[in-house]
Amino acid sequence: MRHILEKFCTGVEIIAGVLLGLCTLLIVVSTAGRYLLSWPVPDAFDISRLLIGACIMWGFASVCYRGGQIAVDIVWELLPRRGKIVLDLFAWAMLFFFTVLLAYQTYFRVASAYRSNEGTFDLRIPVWPMLGLIWLGCAAAVITLLFAFSRVRAGRDLGQHQEPFE
Amino acid sequence: AEIELTLSHWVPGTHPLQVTGMEPWAESIKQASNGRIEITIYPAQQLGAAADHYDMARDGIVDIGFINPGYQPGRFPILAAAELPFLFENAKAGVAALTEWYKPYSETEMADTYFCMALSHDPGTFHSTSKILVPEDVKGKTVRPANATEARFVNLLGGASVQVSAAESREVLAKGAADMTQSPWESLYIFGVDSIVTHHLDMPLYASINAFIFNKAKLEIMSEEDRQVIYDHCTPEWAEKMSSGWADAEAAGRDKIAADPKHTLWKPNEEQVQMWKDAAAPLTDEWKETIRKAGGDPDEMLNGLIEALKARNSYAGE
Amino acid sequence: MNSGDLTAILGFLAMFVLMALRVPIGIAMGLVGVFGFASVRGLAPALNLLTTSPFRVVTDFNLTLVPFFVLMGVFATNSGMSRELFRAGNAWLGSFRGGLALATIAACAGFAAICGSSVATAATMTRIAVPEMRAAGYHDGTSTGIVAAGGTLGILIPPSVVMVVYAYLTETDVGQLFIAGIIPGLLATLMYMATVRIAHGKALPAGRRFDPREALDSLKDIWAVGLLFIAVIGVIYLGIATPTEAAAVGAFATMIIGVARRRLDARKILDSLVEALRTSVVLYTVLIGAMLFGYFLAITQSPQKLTALLVAMDLGPYGTLALILVVFFIAGALMDEMAMIVLLLPVVFPVIVKLGFDPVWFGVILVTCCQLGMIAPPVGINVFVINSIAREVKLTTIYRGVAPFIAADIVRLVLLTVFPAIALWLPMTMR
Ligand code: NA
Ligand code: NA
């Protein structure tokens, strides 16, 4: 079972990484088109920002599983091992609660785009499939968080240091 | 006050639309309801992104939303008729005609909100970092179009669009993400792009549409009497009042630009005007096709709008 | 004080409690934002904030350069550019007393030129420079202190993730901000070098013999970094392309160079993409929370009132600025710097504008405050990261090592305030 979970989460990560690669490529191509050939790629603007959105939400799913969000450790550091686990479980519950709300609510954004024929600006490509891809990242986060629960409960998070980014 | 309404918009709080439009309108509503209805204005995207304002009013995040339907292409196809080029002779009487014409359609197209009034500004045009006189000048350029219809126009002319709201246009122009923008004249100053785009196509080209919409549930919990006060403030006449100060300000902006030696105005001759009209012709066909696909009668709709505009002496065509 | 102000205060309290309980800060802000908004406008509308706002943040065009600049730094690290920078620094500066320390600072500055993150700069330099300095007889406090401070150059010398967030929250031109960071970045580099000599002087190990062949040789290795910086920042300075385009092309070029030098293969590229994305996601989570919390504050109308209050206190522009900076010092010492920015900036920025300060200049000031906060006790992120890599060095030892640099940062902050041109001259020459 653990094996399958690990595979699922690795899959999520690879999807997210590949999306970022695609997006980098798209912007490189559209930049080259714009400056070298005077041929701007139509809808590069809309598609690249929607793609980045998808990367980020799929990446969110990955981070939900592996951990590493910025959190304040001051109280946590003072607690014994059991206390640390309790605090981590609480934090996990809040993250899970927020993510479930987010996935539930953003579903309506996708549905509304589907019903209302929203399109991209240049070519009027419907935007709901892209929003749907972003939403799938959200839904994947709910699943990866469920997987993360057992790890947090077992205290296997404790040795892991945070990865801040500034 | 018994009823406190939040009005959210995305232009600066000092914009003539707020100062000469929304504030007197809110004050009039307060007077007419004997102080029972009070409206608080939240400017400058404080409560949400410009393009989200329809959803925000629909979902009750705010009670009254100021929207640009053109920020979400394809979503309001009937109202998009008003975005077709060369329709409006002037903004003031034009918006009264527009509000009158769209009201019945709004009951299907904006069924999940209450449509109060439609607005427009004094017709806008292209403003560029380099010469802009004929349609060919847009080819290969990146443009911040004013709305979805204009984005299609730019695409037809061989340019690409960078669609951000007016509030964000400065950023994309300053960074070079866009070479041109579309807006009415005074807006160049309002959004601080006057120092960046110094070349201007000197002809009325397009109109952008805005609208005020209400959250439905909020209206339903009001008393009959209070609701009537709101209805009385959602009329073609109020639309005209609401946009007058703005239209004057935008029109004055052209004179300001013309008087400034930093700026170059390119005035097309008759032949060149016709080139623009020919280039824009496919937009009307495309729009008609969209409506037909959705099962509507585009000719009836467009003729209705033109008749309404003629009745108020604000049609730009013959 | 009315009910709106009380709601806002309770919201802040609830958020701090959640944060103290180790709820990720973005989530803490988001939850309080939504439920605080609910207390003013009702639950259903507040939940609907989640329908529109988070998608708007992740698809925002102005933020797309974050993942690209992070990716560029990750590609650079994974293809060994940081080690080459250190070697070059040592070849040129190694002959002075404390040469390794000077080389480390130079390498930090060089790496900062292609990496937008302070922590990443500190982390990569800890792995490379600290063991070498230890072997050469440097005190652990000295070496880790240098890396902690040098790492903060990552957010001052462009590209800078902190500047991107500042630009996003205040609608300032990010290109101008980047350019404004260059001269203060050079100044900071020189001041850090001077600080090492002044603080430790004769206690520093002597240098080694200067070898001109080795020095020239080392340049061959670092051409890539120089080229990337000049290309990316040059393009932004000249206004040829947008920062997003420059960032994406920069990341792509870093990858190509890595592949051409056989330092990156498909596996490493995918790993780098995932690593960069995870780093970016953490930032986006904070911003999603910050936007939701911001809508909550806006609906209570408390920021507007606080701005009016601060302006009405009539301390004069510099008095108010001093007050604001003191608040930033305290916040920076106590909390994560990104949290500090997203919490305080929406309240403070309107005041700064009202008092007539330049938004670009204030951006550089704020970055300097973040640099201070990242090394200042009790919560100095760089110090923590170094501690997690160099496990044998105690936190207190590192904090003792950074003390002289805190002094240097404060001096630089004063210089920037007295001579705003240090930051503003270069961006003023842009088109
Ligand atoms: Na940097
Ligand atoms: Na700190």
Is C119 at the interface with chain A, CB within 8 A? yes
Instruction: Mean pLDDT check: name the lowest of B92-106, B119-133, B165-179, B215-229.
Output: B165-179
Confidence of residue A163 (pLDDT cuts 50, 70, 90): very low
Judged by CB atoms closer than 8 Å, whether chains meet at B73 and A41 is answered as no
**CB of B251 closer than 8 Å to CB of B185:** yes
> What average pLDDT score do residues C119-143 get?
93
Which ligand does the CA of C70 lie closest to? 1
CA distance A133 to A130: 5
Which residues from A are below 8 Å from B159, CB to CB?
A: 40
Judged by CB atoms closer than 8 Å, whether chains meet at C286 and A70 is answered as yes
Q: How many CA atoms lie within 13 A of B66 on its CB side?
A: 25
Cα of C111 vs centre of ligand 1, distance in Å, is 7
User: Residue B242 carries which side chain, given as an amino acid letter?
Assistant: M
DSSP result, C106-156: HHHHHHHTT---HHHHHHHHHHHHHHHHHHTT--HHHHHHHHHHHHTHHHH
Judged by CB atoms closer than 8 Å, whether chains meet at B72 and A118 is answered as yes
Mean pLDDT, all residues of chain B? 93
Q: C240: Cβ–Cβ under 8 A, 6 or more apart, which residues?
A: A35, B176
Encoded tokens for B86: 């060369």
Judged by CB atoms closer than 8 Å, whether chains meet at C64 and A48 is answered as yes
pLDDT in tens, C25-56: 899 999 999 999 999 999 999 999 999 999 99
Tell me, what's the pLDDT at A164?
A: 45
Counting beta carbons within 10 angstroms of the beta carbon of residue B274, is it exposed (0 to 12), middle (13 to 18) or buried (19 or more)? exposed
> What average pLDDT score do residues A73-96 get?
92
Which residues from C are below 8 Å from A165, CB to CB?
A: 70, 117, 119-120, 161, 279-280, 282-283, 338
Partners of B83 in the β-ladder: none
**CB of C174 closer than 8 Å to CB of C244:** no
pLDDT in tens, A102-132: 999 999 999 999 998 899 988 899 999 999 9
Tell me, what's the pLDDT at A158?
A: 60
CA distance C431 to B229: 52
Judged by CB atoms closer than 8 Å, whether chains meet at C241 and B176 is answered as yes
Is C27 at the interface with chain A, CB within 8 A? yes
User: Residue B112 carries which side chain, given as an amino acid letter?
Assistant: D
Please give the interface size between A and B, counted as residue pairs whose CB atoms are below 8 Å apart: 53
3-state secondary structure of C293: helix
Closest-approach residue (CA) in chain C for A20: C273
Encoded tokens for A52: 């980045």
Is C159 at the interface with chain A, CB within 8 A? no
Judged by CB atoms closer than 8 Å, whether chains meet at C23 and A90 is answered as yes
Question: Considering the entire predicted model, what is its pTM?
Answer: 0.91
- pLDDT > 60? residue C120: yes
Cα of C93 vs centre of ligand 2, distance in Å, is 31
List the subunits that have 3+ CB pairs under 8 angstroms with C.
Answer: A, B
pLDDT in tens, C327-373: 898 888 877 788 788 878 878 888 898 889 999 999 999 999 999 99
CA distance to partner chain B, nearest, from residue C7 (Å): 17
Tell me, what's the pLDDT at A165?
A: 46
Is B6 at the interface with chain C, CB within 8 A? yes
Tell me, what's the pLDDT at A114?
A: 95
Residue predicted with more confidence, B168 or B152: B152
Judged by CB atoms closer than 8 Å, whether chains meet at A119 and B74 is answered as yes
Tell me, what's the pLDDT at A162?
A: 47
CA distance B93 to C366: 49
Tell me, what's the pLDDT at B132?
A: 96
CA distance A135 to A104: 9
Using alpha carbons only, how large is chain B's radius of gyration in Å?
19
Instruction: Mean pLDDT check: name the lowest of A149-158, C135-144, C208-217.
Output: A149-158
pLDDT in tens, C233-243: 998 888 777 88
pLDDT in tens, C257-290: 999 999 999 999 999 999 999 989 988 998 999 8
Tell me, what's the pLDDT at C314?
A: 85
Sketch the domain layout of chain C as residue ranges.
3-428
**A115 CB neighbour count, 10 Å cutoff:** 10
Confidence of residue A1 (pLDDT cuts 50, 70, 90): low
Which residues from B are below 8 Å from A112, CB to CB?
A: 55
Tell me, what's the pLDDT at B156?
A: 92
Give the closest of A43, A109, A116 to B75, CB-based.
A116
Judged by CB atoms closer than 8 Å, whether chains meet at C25 and A71 is answered as yes
Tell me, what's the pLDDT at A161?
A: 45
Counting beta carbons within 10 angstroms of the beta carbon of residue C137, is it exposed (0 to 12), middle (13 to 18) or buried (19 or more)? exposed
Tell me, what's the pLDDT at A157?
A: 64
> What average pLDDT score do residues A65-86 get?
87
> What average pLDDT score do residues B272-296 get?
94
Tell me, what's the pLDDT at C49?
A: 97
| Complex prediction ipTM | 0.92
pLDDT in tens, B35-86: 999 999 999 888 999 999 999 999 999 999 999 998 899 999 999 999 998 8
Sketch the domain layout of chain A as residue ranges.
2-153
List the subunits that have 3+ CB pairs under 8 angstroms with A.
Answer: B, C
Percent of chain B with pLDDT over 90: 77
Range from A92-101, B192-201, C334-343 that averages highest in pLDDT: A92-101
CA distance to partner chain C, nearest, from residue B190 (Å): 15
Judged by CB atoms closer than 8 Å, whether chains meet at A91 and C23 is answered as yes
**CB of A122 closer than 8 Å to CB of A42:** yes
pLDDT in tens, B173-195: 877 778 999 999 998 998 889 98
* Distance linking the first and last C-alpha atoms of chain B: 50
Which ligand does the CA of C112 lie closest to? 1
Tell me, what's the pLDDT at A122?
A: 85
What stretch of H or E contains A133? Answer: helix A128-153
- pLDDT > 90? residue C426: yes
- pLDDT > 90? residue A156: no
**Residue C159: which of C234, C223, C84 has the closest Cα?**
C234
